[in-house]
């Protein structure tokens, strides 16, 4: 498949075939990660800028690792010591990057739409590393890679996503992609954190986790954004954990060898108990490894010229 996109802003613009192509491209990339010598010349001479206005552990480091393995140079734009602190706008920052002839910008920003704004201004490719409450497409794609690897496909698979759906860019991107791939998606959370409009995306909504667990092939816990309690969106962390926290005991209700996912960072003892997070059913660390492979695939597809065989 010849890749036709300059940017990756969310999954609404990708077809199911394109999502499957990303997963397929990531497979040989994962094999490279297990080699003693993890370095390819494929993107020598290309420059990837990591523009993170919000904190990140997994997304930033995995993009940097992915770009370096492919042979690209990386530049970390550190907001804390940049001219953003002197009031420089996102537009002027973008123009500065453009003047440096960068090839690809990975951006994370607290404002929904920031990645699209940059993509419209820059000739370089832009990958959305998470924008506000809008989208986190690369997290969703690494989740799909993990689901494909563990479940063998998506058609008819029951995926339960539980937690703070309202504020979750991970949930939004996952729903868009999982529906395209044919999965059966149920979103679970307290009424204040589960927007009714999500049902228009073709998913089931439920306030009762225990009722939805039977038959689930995968359960994805989302981070409870603890600062939300101050806004009165749920009465107490203890009550939330009792109703929506995942544990080994609770997961038995699926009646299957269900896999458990979490995008990280986790609040252990709140949305997921350590007995489950560290169990054989947990694929949380594999998600992180797969994140590097999927991000290698995306960087390669966007600035590597597309179709050739990247792996010797
Ligand atoms: N899942 C995720 O986006 O993690 P980081 O915030 O650490 O990048």
* Residue 79 maps to a domain: yes
**Does the residue 223 lie in any domain?**
yes
What is the Cα–Cα distance from 240 to 122, expressed in whole angstroms?
43
Check residue 85 and give its pLDDT.
74
Q: How much of the chain, in percent, has pLDDT values that exceed 70? A: 96
CB of 58 shorter than 6 A to ligand 1 = yes
Structure tokens at 301: 């597809």
Give the pLDDT score at 228. 67
**Which one of 56, 139, 140 would you pick to mutate in the ligand 1 pocket, going by the greatest count of ligand atoms within 8 A of its CB?**
56
- Ramachandran region, residue 127 (left: φ > 0; alpha: ψ -120 to 50; beta: rest): beta
CA of 136 from ligand 1 middle (Å) equals 9
Strand order in the sheet with 73-78: 73-78, 47-52, 104-109, 125-131
Q: By CB neighbour count within 10 A (0-12 exposed, 13-18 middle, 19+ buried), where does 240 fall? A: buried
Atom 6 of ligand 1, residue of closest alpha carbon:
56
- Looking at the fold, whether 237 and 278 belong to one and the same domain comes out as yes
Residues 124 and 146 in one domain: no
Cα-flanking dihedrals φ and ψ of residue 21, to 5°? -65, -40
Cβ(263) – ligand 1 distance below 6 Å: yes
Whether the CB of 225 sits within 6 Å of ligand 1: no
pLDDT value for 229: 65
The count of domains in the chain is 2
271 and 145 assigned to the same domain: yes
Mutation test residue for ligand 1: of 64, 132, 137, 139, the one with most atoms within 8 Å of CB: 139
Residue 231 lies in a domain: yes
Q: How many A from CA of 222 to the centre of ligand 1?
A: 11
Is residue 281 scored above 90 in pLDDT? yes
Tell me if 308 is assigned to some domain. no
Strand, coil or helix: 55: coil
- Hey, what are 157's tokens? 């698979």
Residues 159 and 261 in one domain: yes
Whether residues 146 and 279 share a domain: the answer is yes
- Do 99 and 41 fall within a single domain? yes
Cβ-based neighbour number of residue 168 at 10 Å: 22
Distance (angstroms) between ligand 1 centre and the Cα of 301 equals: 22
The DSSP code sequence of 70-103 is: TT-EEEEEEGGGSGGGGT--HHHHHHHHHHTT-S
Any domain includes 311: no
Position 84 scores a pLDDT of 77
Q: What is the pLDDT of residues 208-259, one digit of tens each?
A: 999 999 999 999 999 998 766 667 788 889 999 999 999 999 999 999 999 9
- The verdict on 141 and 276 lying in the same domain is yes
Please list, in sequence order, all residues whose beta carbon lies within 8 angstroms of the beta carbon of residue 78, skipping any fewer than 6 positions away.
Answer: none
Ligand 1 centroid–CA 244 distance in Å is 21
Confidence of residue 69 (pLDDT cuts 50, 70, 90): very high
Q: Judge if the beta carbon of residue 247 lies within 6 A of ligand 1.
A: no
pLDDT at position 273, please?
98
- Angle (nearest 5°) at CA 164 between 157 and 210: 55
**7 falls within a domain:** no
Nearest-atom number in ligand 1 for the CA of 264 is 1
| pLDDT per residue as tens digits for the range 296-306 | 999 999 999 75
Q: Are residues 168 and 267 in the same domain?
A: yes
User: d(Cα 114, Cα 116) in Å, to the nearest integer?
Assistant: 6
Per residue in 118-162, pLDDT (tens digit) is 999 999 999 999 999 999 999 999 999 999 999 999 999 999 999
Does 271 fall in a domain?
A: yes
Q: What is the domain range of residue 222?
A: 137-283
Q: Please list the residues that pair with 104 across neighbouring strands.
A: 48, 125
Q: For position 310, what pLDDT does the model report? A: 60
Q: How many Å apart are CA 174 and CA 279, to the nearest integer?
A: 24
- For residue 275, is it within any domain? yes
Look at 78 and 198; give whichever has higher pLDDT: 198
Question: Hey, whose CA ends up nearest to atom 7 of ligand 1?
Answer: 57
Choice between 216 and 77, residue whose per-residue pLDDT is larger = 216
Question: DSSP assignment, residue 282?
Answer: B
**Are 212 and 115 found together in one domain?**
no
Name the least confident of 69-83, 157-171, 266-280: 69-83
Q: Concatenated DSSP letters for 155-210?
A: TT-EEEEES--TT-HHHHHHHHHHHHTT-EEEEE--GGGS-GGGGGGT-EEES-HH
Per this entry, what is the length of the chain? 312
Tell me the mean pLDDT in the region 11-22: 97
For residue 86, the Cα-to-chain-centroid distance in whole angstroms is: 31
* pLDDT reported for residue 225: 82
Identify the CATH number of the domain in which residue 55 sits. 3.40.50.1370
pLDDT given at position 82: 75
Q: Confirm if 303 and 125 have CB atoms less than 8 A apart.
A: yes
Mean pLDDT lowest among 20-29, 77-86, 147-156, 178-187? 77-86
Do residues 261 and 146 share a domain? yes
Is residue 193 a contact partner of residue 234, using CB atoms and an 8 Å limit? Answer: yes
If asked whether residues 155 and 213 sit together in one domain, one would say: yes
Q: 224 and 277: one domain? A: yes
Higher pLDDT, 235 or 311: 235
Q: Which segment of 15-29, 90-104, 130-144, 200-214 scores lowest on mean pLDDT?
A: 90-104
């Amino acid at each position: 498949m010849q890749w036709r996109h300059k940017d990756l802003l969310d999954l609404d613009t990708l077809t199911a075939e394109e999502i499957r192509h990303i997963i397929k491209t990531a497979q040989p990339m994962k094999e490279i990660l297990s080699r003693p010598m993890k370095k390819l010349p494929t993107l020598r001479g290309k420059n990837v800028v990591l523009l993170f206005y919000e904190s990140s552990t997994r997304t930033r480091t995995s993009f940097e690792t992915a770009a370096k393995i492919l042979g690209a140079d990386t530049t970390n734009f550190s907001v804390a010591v940049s001219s953003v602190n002197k009031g420089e706008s996102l537009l002027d920052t973008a123009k500065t990057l453009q003047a440096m002839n960068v090839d690809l910008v990975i951006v994370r920003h607290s404002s929904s739409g920031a990645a699209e704004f940059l993509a419209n201004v820059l000739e370089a490719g832009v990958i959305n590393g998470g924008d506000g409450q809008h989208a986190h497409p690369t997290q969703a794609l690494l989740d799909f890679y993990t689901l494909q690897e563990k479940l063998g496909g998506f058609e008819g698979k029951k995926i339960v996503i539980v937690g703070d759906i309202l504020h979750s860019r991970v949930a939004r991107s996952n729903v868009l992609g999982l529906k395209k791939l044919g999965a059966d998606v149920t979103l679970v959370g307290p009424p204040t954190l589960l927007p009714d409009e999500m049902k228009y995306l073709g998913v089931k909504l439920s306030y009762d986790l225990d009722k939805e667990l039977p038959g689930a092939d995968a359960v994805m816990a989302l981070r409870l954004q603890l600062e939300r309690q101050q806004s009165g969106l749920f009465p107490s962390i203890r009550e939330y954990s009792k109703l929506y926290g995942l544990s080994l005991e609770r997961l038995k209700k699926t009646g299957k060898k269900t896999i458990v996912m979490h995008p990280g960072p986790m609040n252990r003892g709140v949305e997921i108990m350590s007995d489950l997070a560290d169990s054989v059913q947990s694929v949380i660390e594999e998600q992180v490894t797969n994140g590097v492979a999927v991000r290698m695939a995306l960087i390669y597809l966007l600035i590597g010229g597309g179709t050739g065989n990247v792996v010797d």
